[in-house]
Amino acid sequence: QQQVKQSPQSLIVQKGGISIINCAYENTAFDYFPWYQQFPGKGPALLIAIRPDVSEKKEGRFTISFNKSAKQFSLHIMDSQPGDSATYFCAANGGYNKLIFGAGTRLAVHP
Amino acid sequence: NAGVTQTPKFQVLKTGQSMTLQCAQDMNHNSMYWYRQDPGMGLRLIYYSASEGTTDKGEVPNGYNVSRLNKREFSLRLESAAPSQTSVYFCASMGQGGTEAFFGQGTRLTVV
Q: Tell me the pLDDT tens digit for each residue of A64-88.
A: 999 999 999 999 999 999 999 999 9
**Cα–Cα distance, A51 to B86 (Å, whole number):** 35
CB B40 within 8 A of CB B24: no
DSSP label at residue A83: G
Q: Which of B42, B50, B103 sits opposite A97 (nearest CB)?
A: B50
> What integer pLDDT is reported at residue A94 of this predicted model?
72
Q: Please indicate whether, in this complex, the C-beta atoms of A103 and B4 are within 8 angstroms of each other.
A: no
Q: For an interface test with B, which of A21, A98, A105 has the most B Cβ atoms less than 10 Å from its Cβ?
A: A98
Residues of A whose CB is below 8 A from B48: 97-99
Spell B20-57 as b/e; 16+ CB within 10 A means b.
ebbbbbeeebbbbbbbbbeeeebbbbbbbbbeeeebee
Residue in chain B closest to A93 (alpha carbons) equals: B98
Asked if B94's CB is within 8 angstroms of A99's CB, the reply is: yes
User: pLDDT tens-digit profile of B13-58?
Assistant: 999 999 999 999 999 999 999 999 998 888 999 999 998 889 999 9
State the pLDDT at residue B58.
92
CB contact under 8 A, B40 and A103: yes
B64 touches chain A (CB under 8 A): no
Q: Do A18 and A25 contact (CB within 8 A), yes or no?
A: no
Nearest to A90 by CA among A18, A22, A20: A22
Given B45, B59, B90, which is nearest A43 (Cβ)?
A: B90
Chain A nearest-CA residue for B45: A100
- Please report which confidence band the pLDDT of residue A1 belongs to, taking 50, 70 and 90 as the band edges: low
The residue among A42, A24, A2 whose CA lies nearest residue B9 is A42
Higher pLDDT, A4 or B1: A4
Quick check: B80 and B19 in contact, CB under 8 A? no
